Amino acid sequence: MLSPGERLGPYEILAPLASGGMGDVYRARDSRLEREVAVKALPERLAKEPASAARFAREARAIAALSHPNILAIHDFGVENGLAYSVTELLEGETLRRRLDRGPLPLPRIREYALAIAAALGAAHERAIVHRDVKPENVFLTKEGGVKVLDFGVAKRTEPKPDTADSTADTEPGMLVGTIGYMSPEQVRSEPVDARSDLFSLGCVLYEMITGSRAFRKPTPADTLAAILTEDPPPIDARATGCPPELVRLVDHCLRKEREARFQSARDLAFALENAAGAARTARPARRRSSIASLAVLPFVEGSGDAAREYLADGLTEDLINTLARRAKARVIARSSVFRWKSAPADPRAVGRELGVSAVVTGRVTVRDGELDVQAELVDVEDGAQLWGERFRRPESDLLALEGEIAAAIAARLGPRPRSRAPVARPASASAAYDRYLRGRFEWNRRTEEGFEKALALFQEAIRQDPGFALAYAGIADAYVFLGGYGHLPPEIAYPRSRAAAEKALALESSADAHNSLASVLHRFAWDFPGAEREFRLALADNPAHATAHHWYGLFLLTMGRFAEAWEEVERASALDPLSLVVRQDRGYFHYCRRDYADAERVFRSMLAGEPEFPRARFDLGITLVLRGSAEEGVSEIRRAAAASGERPRAIATLAWALAAAGRPDEARALVRGLDAPAFSVALVHAAAGEGDAAFAVLGRAVERREDAVVSLLVNPRVDPLRGDARFDALLKRVGFPKGARPAE
């Protein structure tokens, strides 16, 4: 034992905390960071035993490999005078074992603790680490209400697939690892284990939290081991009254003898716990439908562990968002805001509060042996009550019908949208076509050149499967819009193809997506401004909650100089898609076009405070600073943004403009000399350098090529040096801007 005042490296021992078979734990002070920590020291007698020393080091490595709020965090590991020690965060509170000694837990605490343990195990399992000793002694309840899983000393790595044997097993045949009473049957038989073994052990812990009694406890250890292999524990109903049937079934599912019959992942268990918790909550009067004014559909989880099927979960989520936006009375948050949580699962109520909605939909989709298993739940953000929940099992080929069934069930709880339009049709027989479409949208949403190209191929394959599939044509139109808008294809190639695909989609079926795509082409390439406005309005009539349509329509109105109307549309887009970076950026762009540079700078700086690597906001901040008179700071920001964006030609041209506007025309000319940048961008450089003739000549080429930036001529502050020239008025007339339109109010 160490005494107060002794040191292990930079750690001063303050007081003993606990003592166990694998080490003594002390409260200590870290002299470097001036904080208190917990130090676990391996006794000298065990340090001389290779197996014990290996286990101690293995625990440190296992914890270090994990980073999760429900797993004890390790700070350091070392050896001092032959004494091995590890340093972890200092926890204040008690173990779950000590809490259970006072009796069973209330149902809300059972749910809370079980979800936290499942989350910790899920994080470990994702790193192919199996705990192998889940029990109440290894769960710590902090004074702050947190839950921490401890003691990964017998943890081990497994192969990534659950059904494969543990290739790194260090357990000798016949050797039991774990704690009797909480071992899985495969542990009792000394077989290779995987994540499902931990779920059996967690089932034992759950049973004990509910009943106050151990699931498997016999007079002798041998009898207990035999019971784990051959007997079921006494029914929960016989030991605890008032336990919801859903929770009873969940525990039974965890305690199946065959691992294939249990939950297949900690995430599956967590989802089932959420559903069971809904039934466990105290009954209350049903809310009126009108009380659910806003809704977020969180990304559905792909539960089979097959990354190749991730598109199914994403597609189901996106389709529900679109269908509910058309059919439900509530405001439905757009895809780009909710998908921020796709790879970072969080508490649905916390997400709902951040998005400012009344309710959230969560779900999980699993495909096994050609069968879809979809679980979905509607949860009240205010009090966590389950407003609706259901599980659907259908053949995989019934995905289309299933999406409509889920959407109808949720919409019924929310109230129908007045005069809602009929749902968009889906291919009736060619399920393969819809599969290709979903895969294409999955790739398109990556917003990369490669993703757009893959999406095009998949949309085209969908059309080969079903030549009358309108959504696939709309997908092609969207892909070409972005390939042209992002500069991956020349506009004279991208936009005609986009228009043809959008018109084909509308010839087959009217949809908001197709109208919106066609509107964008008519606006940005064809310069058919009345036609573009007509299509934007048709898109919003079809789906009043289409965030992208509101956003793009707002930009259209802005380029027409209709500032008040533009702001209303941008605000609607922001309400539907509150976390969208491009919508936030265009709020700043609105102020910039109004010459409200102080407000524009505020928006861009606010964005960069939270998203410092978002280059569009940094470009616009730099441009705004130059126009405000802070030229050198603006040049610096634009130079940084250009480097972050890979120094693409358009980015270099923007830097050249900033240099010219800062009174450094020679440097600007050097940058654009021979640069294959859009003509509009080069024209701005000449305008800033006071070279009007060159600017108008290059602008003429931009108009001939129908570059999309030309539609900003009326309101773009960077063309101000050219205003008042008859040639500028001629350009506005050539493009077709409304007569009498002004660059600012």
Provide the CATH number for the domain around residue 325. 3.40.50.10610
- Higher-confidence residue of 520 and 401: namely 520
Mean pLDDT of the chain: 84
The 10s digit of each residue's pLDDT in 73-92 is: 888 888 887 788 888 889 88
Judge if 66 and 84 occupy the same domain: yes
Do 540 and 475 belong together in one domain? yes
C-alpha pair distances (Å), 625 with each of 408, 581, 594, 721: 50, 20, 15, 17
Q: Are strands 359-368 and 301-302 parallel, antiparallel or unpaired?
A: parallel
Q: Tell me what the mean pLDDT of segment 353-376 comes to.
A: 84
561 and 614 together in one domain: yes
pLDDT score, position 319: 81
List, in order, residues 6 or more apart from 359 with CB less than 8 Å away: 292, 294, 295, 296, 330, 352, 378, 379, 380, 381, 387, 414
Predicted local distance difference test score (pLDDT) of residue 324: 85
Check residues 275 and 614 and name the one with the higher pLDDT.
Answer: 614
Instruction: Calculate mean pLDDT across residues 607-620.
Output: 87
Domain total of the chain: 5
237 pLDDT more than 50: yes
Q: 129 has which bridge partners?
A: 157
Residue 715 confidence (pLDDT) above 90: yes
Q: pLDDT class for 278, splitting at 50, 70, 90?
A: low
Angle between helices 431-444 and 470-485 (to 10 degrees): 20
Tell me the pairing of strands 156-157 and 129-130: antiparallel
Residue 375 bridge partners (DSSP): 364, 391
Exposure b/e, 76-111, CB count within 10 A at least 16 = b: bbeeeeeebbbbbebbeeebbeebbeeebbebeebb
Q: Which helix (H) or strand (E) holds 249?
A: helix 245-254
Helices marked H in 560-648? 563-576, 581-593, 597-610, 615-628, 631-644
Nearest to 144 by CA among 94, 198, 110: 94
Both 716 and 573 in one domain: the answer is no
Q: State the pLDDT confidence band at 459, using cuts at 50, 70 and 90.
A: very high
- In this structure, the answer to whether residues 675 and 657 fall within a common structural domain is no
What spatial distance separates the first Cα and last Cα of the chain, rounded to whole Å?
Answer: 79
Tell me: do 371 and 234 sit in the same domain: no
59 has pLDDT over 80: no
* Of residues 52, 42, 49, the one with CA closest to residue 77: 42
Q: How confident is the model at residue 166 (pLDDT cuts 50, 70, 90)?
A: very low
| pLDDT-derived band at 33, boundaries 50, 70, 90 | confident
Q: Tell whether 185 and 264 lie within a shared domain.
A: yes
Is the model's pLDDT at 112 over the cut of 80?
yes
Helices then strands, counting H and E runs in the chain, come out as 31, 17
Residue 521 inside a domain? The answer is yes
169-221: per-residue pLDDT in tens?
344 444 556 789 999 999 999 898 999 999 999 999 999 999 889 999 999 99
Q: Is residue 348 within 8 Å of residue 435, measured between CB atoms?
A: no
Are 357 and 307 in contact, with CB atoms under 8 Å apart?
no
Residue 581 has a pLDDT of 84
The Cα–Cα gap between 583 and 587 comes to 6
Q: Give the phi and the psi of residue 362 in degrees, each rounded to 5.
A: -120, 160
pLDDT in tens, 480-534: 988 887 778 888 899 899 999 999 999 998 888 889 989 999 999 999 999 999 9
Mean pLDDT of 425-433: 54
Distances (CA, A) of 421 to 209, 322, 326, 461: 50, 12, 7, 29
Are 213 and 248 in the same domain? yes
- Residue with more model confidence, 94 or 422: 94
Q: What is the mean pLDDT of residues 580-609?
A: 92
Q: Phi and psi at residue 465, in whole multiples of 5°?
A: -70, -40
With bands split at pLDDT 50, 70 and 90, how would you rate the model's confidence at 285? very low
In-domain check, residue 428: no
448 has a pLDDT exceeding 60: yes
Are 451 and 386 in the same domain? no
Amino acid present at 610? G
pLDDT higher at 285 or 385: 385
Backbone angles phi, psi at 299, to 5 degrees: -55, 125
133 is catalytic: yes
User: Residue 311: which residues within 8 A CB-CB, separation 6 or more?
Assistant: 438, 439, 441, 442
Instruction: Say yes or no: 104 and 119 in one domain.
Output: yes
**Residue span of the structural domain in which 414 resides:** 289-423
Domain final residue pick, 609, 644, 663: 663
646 and 618 belong to one structural domain: yes
Asked, for residue 60, whether it belongs to a domain, the answer is yes
Stated pTM of the model: 0.59
pLDDT score of 281 more than 60: no
The whole-number pLDDT of residue 174 equals 45
Residue 418 pLDDT > 60: no
Residue 417 lies in a domain: yes
pLDDT of residue 386: 74
Secondary structure of residue 703 in the 3-state scheme: helix
* Averaged pLDDT for residues 398-410: 77
Last-in-domain residue among 423, 451, 473: 423
pLDDT band at 157 (very low <50, low <70, confident <90, very high): low
CA-nearest of 377, 201, 406, 246 to 316 is: 406
Confidence of residue 604 (pLDDT cuts 50, 70, 90): very high
Residue finishing a domain among 280, 309, 330? 280
Q: Which two tokens stand for residue 590?
A: 């609105």
571 Cβ contact list (under 8 Å, min separation 6)? none
Which residue of the set 76, 133, 314, 380 is catalytic? Answer: 133
CATH number at residue 26: 3.30.200.20
Which residues, 6 or more positions from 295, have their beta carbon under 8 angstroms from its beta carbon? 324, 328, 330, 331, 332, 333, 357, 358, 359, 360, 361, 414
pLDDT of residue 732: 93
Question: What CA–CA distance (Å, rounded) separates 275 from 254?
Answer: 15
